[in-house]
Amino acid sequence: MNKKVIIPGIIGLGLLAIVTLFLVKKPGFPNSGVAETADLHLPEMRFGLPVDSFNIIEGIVKPGQNLGEILTGFGVPMSKVDQLSRNSEEIFDVRKIRSGQKFFLFQSPDTVMKACYLVYENNLVEYVIFGLSNSMSISRGEKKVQRMQKSASGIIASNLWNTMTDNDLNPMLAIELSKIYAWTIDFFGIQKGDKFRLLYEEQFVDTVSTGVGPVYAVEFEHMGKNYYAFRFSQDEGFDYFDDKGENLRKAFLKAPLEFSRISSRFSGSRLHPVLKIRRPHHGVDYAAPLGTPVVSIGDGTVIGKGYQGGSGNFVKIRHNAVYTTMYLHLSRFGKGVSTGSRVQQGEVIGYVGSTGLSTGPHLDFRVFMNGTPIDPLKIDAPPGDPVKTDYKQDFIHTRDSLTVCLYSINWHR
């Protein structure tokens, strides 16, 4: 379904990261020329503790369960729990132990089965070790993260997210692609038969995927047209460029939120779902779960924020002398958003709600050009800066090498 790839012949400035990621020795292969040594029996370690020296009990934190309830259940006196909680104050707040997280109790292997260590997994990578001996030590640790360079492809049958899961790919790749093509492809308009192939990095802990990215190159065919994206670094960091070196970043994002559906389009006459009368609808409605983050489609200044009749909670942003946007029916506002404040492109300015005249959670998104409402789906914004002249040849080398790899990936439904 997906496979590792090797990029041949990558040269030029700004390519060190790609060379490193795609040409490094794969984990688990010994270095050539290393002297042979006698076989040694090394103890199996887990969380830095020798597995063979303990009985290990694995558990899940139950709703409402705290450190005391966990430890007293294994015979640890409450006085020791209290001392342990005090000792951990500067390292880990035991009140942040959450239900659903894993814990591991390391017991002595004898008949006494004395509790020696409690390991609490804060997330897939980070953990906390509570020493239950007389010293009652507390320490933090992190599991080793394995980074793998992979390739993938898919043909859209329903939507991008489902295509990822159907092809056994991390669905967060759909989010990454939506960010890369946020200015180029309207992901609410993805068609059956659209397809993609890409080169990317994925992180694993104990064979469990913990994240994806960066994405190095993408070919996305949408409605019969190919859209390329190549990650390339210049003076001030990386950006994504098409095959001609044009920046994929434009003045405005294609949409103010990720992965939903359009429930109502811009119209001069629409039957209002609440009032049951026909009236103009000067926006696009995006149906989305309650609380979905809503972002500003571009840099600008907040010129309005509050509650307004049928619009409910709203935010109004002036981007320049020409364009203004409005975000309606919000459940609440983004942190720090207030009239007069500056916002950046992609900054969360609110969350999807159903305030005002609304039949359910959605965002009513509106765009005004010189004060006149226009269809948000038809904004034409200028692109960002292209590849600089001094880096053009290096970009061409990068593009050509990555393109060879993209074309070697077979399509998967």
Q: Read off the pLDDT of residues 225-239 as tens digits, 9 standing for 90 and up.
A: 999 999 999 877 789
24 band by pLDDT with thresholds 50, 70 and 90: very low
Does some domain include residue 383?
Answer: no
CATH assignment at residue 289: 2.70.70.10
The answer to whether residue 40 sits within a structural domain is: no
CATH code at 114?
Answer: 3.10.450.350
Same domain, 134 and 151: no
Mean pLDDT of the chain: 86
Share of the chain above pLDDT 90, in %: 63
Sort 300 into a burial class: Cβ within 10 Å, 0-12 / 13-18 / 19+. Answer: buried
Same domain, 134 and 203: no
Q: What is the pLDDT of residue 377?
A: 87
Task: Tell me which of 121, 142, 163 is where a domain ends.
Answer: 142
Q: Specify whether 276 is located in the same domain as 350.
A: yes
State residue 11's pLDDT score: 34
229 with 281, same domain: the answer is no
Of the chain, the percentage scoring pLDDT greater than 70 comes to 86
Same domain, 96 and 122: yes
What phi and psi values does residue 20 have, to the nearest 5 degrees? -60, -45
* Tens of pLDDT, residues 48-89: 999 999 999 999 999 999 999 999 999 999 999 999 999 999
**pLDDT class of 383 with cuts at 50, 70, 90:** low
Give the mean model confidence (pLDDT) for residues 105-125: 94
Out of 99-108, 128-137, 145-154, pick the least confident: 128-137
In a domain, 354, yes or no: yes
* Range scoring the smallest mean pLDDT among 10-14, 185-189, 251-255, 295-299: 10-14
Tell me: do 130 and 86 sit in the same domain. yes
Residue 294 included in any domain: yes
Of 111, 142, 173, the position where a domain reaches its end is 142
- Long-range pairs, 136-142, Cβ under 8 A, ≥24: 136/80, 136/83, 136/84, 136/87, 137/87, 138/84, 138/87, 138/88, 138/91, 138/92, 139/91, 140/91, 140/92, 141/47, 141/48
The answer to whether residue 4 is domain-embedded is no
The reply to whether 281 and 357 lie within a common domain is: yes
Domains of the chain: total? 3
**Domain match, 324 and 219 both:** no
Residue 171: inside a domain, yes or no? yes
The residue from 108, 142, 176 where one domain ends is: 142
Average pLDDT estimate for 296-300: 90
Q: What is the pLDDT of residue 166?
A: 92
Alpha helix segments (H runs only) across 238-288: none
Let me know whether 349 and 269 are in one domain: yes
Is 20 within a domain? no
- Flag whether pLDDT at 362 surpasses 50: yes
Question: Residue 303's domain spans which residues?
Answer: 261-378
